[in-house]
A and B are shown apart, each in its own frame.
Chain A
């Protein structure tokens, strides 16, 4: 029972709660019940999508695979939930920095930090790669005519 929270049945239970909340939110939106000129209800397709998910989530509570635990959750830890969020946060910060520093200046610190965080050694190699890769990528995309954010360096290119 201690591992129930990782089982398919538990996943079905979480999904029922999430989909139920989403269903209620959509149901109470004024556009959901608006009838279009062709007689079609505007909210029908989103509700079909949610309905399909709800049926399947409920099925997961009782189907023959309900006691199984998905492979990736067998040895899942709490850090598995927040580490990806930290990674995404780092990427978001990098992109935000790109808008005013430009790609060439914002990407190297991100690459260096992530390469070192993931365990790349020696540090010298990580530094070299973090400088070379963004320069090559920037050159490649510029050649193709794709404009990457230039930020404070806009006057130089």
Chain B
């Protein structure tokens, strides 16, 4: 451990500015999470331009705080109105809403908060222990190995991001194509600009993420509003139950009684979070399913705090580990990790294993922020969760136009270039079409970020091997092994249809749980 860098990190984090942005991040995150239809990715995409104006730790505090807050916040509306704030809180509905109907909404929300924070903290500790070791190994990789590692990541993302392998890979292909627009990363020669000089610098990351994550979602919700098919409105709203002074709280004994379910959530969430492509929704449903099978006497699914603990520990335990591929290899494993990686890039720091030696103080600051974020999440969640429950009742008719305006401001404010706004709108429409036909967005954004690195490593490998493609691609045993693994992932996913099976986890619970 570099003690000096650690002290530098402490000095960077424990400033009023960083702590202020961390609090703001968690505060906004819990609120965003509590509003159905707004996810952590949408929130981070909208906040990314704001992070430019902050220093590196302020930006990390804002984004990581927002991420942590949003993952917990999703459970608030799931418990209050049976309308999960985000898909990863859907498993919480089964037990959470039943408890609310029994007048135990307060108990349900506190269970969700405590299990979320416990799982998040413990999985963060795993990240702090594991990421530097993996990064040390990754430093031994040459361009060939890095190239194949990126191919493995793209393959995993494409195959596991949805139930349809071909659609996931199409999304990755679109990201790769968009990532090549503009000057090529090695010789700086313009290409793929469709004759437009304003595309010479390529597509900027901010309009891309705002368009794909925020604007597309708002178009989708706007359309839903115009068609008046919102299921949420049919659900009986009972926020009053949560505020009643008679509503039961959670005792320490009850919290401790959930340790097995939280343990399952932490194990599953940490593993799933570190794998590219799976994410919090799968972790949440998997740990819920395992806990339900393992402890039939606890009556999970019938209004049990143990079900909430398993689901919420599962989704929150993915928050830290999702950063492992980003920090250890420089390859984001999820859309949110890609956005945090983007924030680092915009601050002039390229996520890679070399970050541990070049910017050790930033890595330590990130670790401290991960842990501190949980404390703030606990405090803010404890104080305001019951007020946030009311946010779920803010009508979409108000939210959608406001977020559309925020998206325009975000795209414009990043560089002050009007072209970015029009690109954002075009990409918003592309994202909307992708949602409609069931093509996942995450592989697009991640491959877009990886594309220049992929090309750089391929060309570097070719240079080292004097233009010999065989040597550049298969010149090392590890590279060959990674190439074989990528092919194996594709074949297995196609034969066993892994994506479909993972998607079915949620659907099966849906049939039995409600």
Contact = CB atoms under 8 A, between A and B. Distances in A.
A36 B186 CA distance: 10
Given A46-B177, A70-B436, A111-B405, A118 B397 contact: yes
Interface residues of A, number: 69
Contact of B462 (A39, A56, A111): A39
B379 interface: no
B42 to A, nearest CB: 16
Interface string B217-231: 001001101101000
A8 B398 CA distance: 35
Given A36-B186, A52-B170, 14 more contacts: A8-B438, A40-B186, A45-B184, A49-B177, A49-B180, A51-B173, A63-B165, A64-B497, A72-B438, A118-B396, A137-B405, A141-B409, A146-B413, A148-B409
B228 to A, nearest CB: 7
B106 interface: no
Interface in B204-258: 219, 222-223, 225-226, 228
B67 interface: no
Interface string B146-174: 00000000000000000111110110111
Q: Please indicate which of the listed interface residues B219, B408, B422 has the most CB atoms of chain A within 10 Å of its own CB.
A: B408
Nearest to A111: B401
A148 B409 CA distance: 8
11 contacts: A39-B462, A49-B179, A53-B173, A60-B166, A83-B226, A87-B222, A103-B409, A110-B405, A115-B397, A120-B397, A146-B50
Contact of A118 (B173, B177, B226): B226
A84 B176 contact: no
Contacts of B454: 45
A33 B484 CA distance: 30
Contacts of A103: 409
Contacts of B1: none
B487 interface: no
A15 interface: yes
B409 A38 contact: no
B421 interface: yes
Contact residues of A: prevailing secondary structure: helix
B25 to A, nearest CB: 14
Nearest to A112: B401
Q: Which 7 A-B pairs have the closest CB atoms?
A: A49-B177, A49-B176, A53-B173, A70-B438, A52-B173, A114-B401, A120-B397
Contacts of B72: none
Contacts of A95: 408, 412, 418, 421
Interface in A64-105: 64-65, 70-73, 76, 80, 83-85, 87-88, 91-92, 94-95, 98-99, 103
Interface of B: 49-50, 53, 163-167, 169-170, 172-180, 184, 186-187, 189-192, 219, 222-223, 225-226, 228, 395-398, 400-402, 404-406, 408-409, 412-413, 416, 418, 421-422, 425, 428-429, 432, 435-438, 451, 454-455, 458-459, 462-463, 467, 497, 500
Contact residues of B: prevailing secondary structure: helix
Interface of A: 8, 11-12, 15, 26, 31-32, 34, 36-40, 42-43, 45-46, 48-53, 55-57, 59-60, 63-65, 70-73, 76, 80, 83-85, 87-88, 91-92, 94-95, 98-99, 103, 107, 110-111, 114-115, 117-120, 129, 133-134, 137, 141, 144-149
Contacts of A145: 53
A102 B283 CA distance: 46
B223 A84 contact: yes
Contacts of A53: 170, 173-174, 177
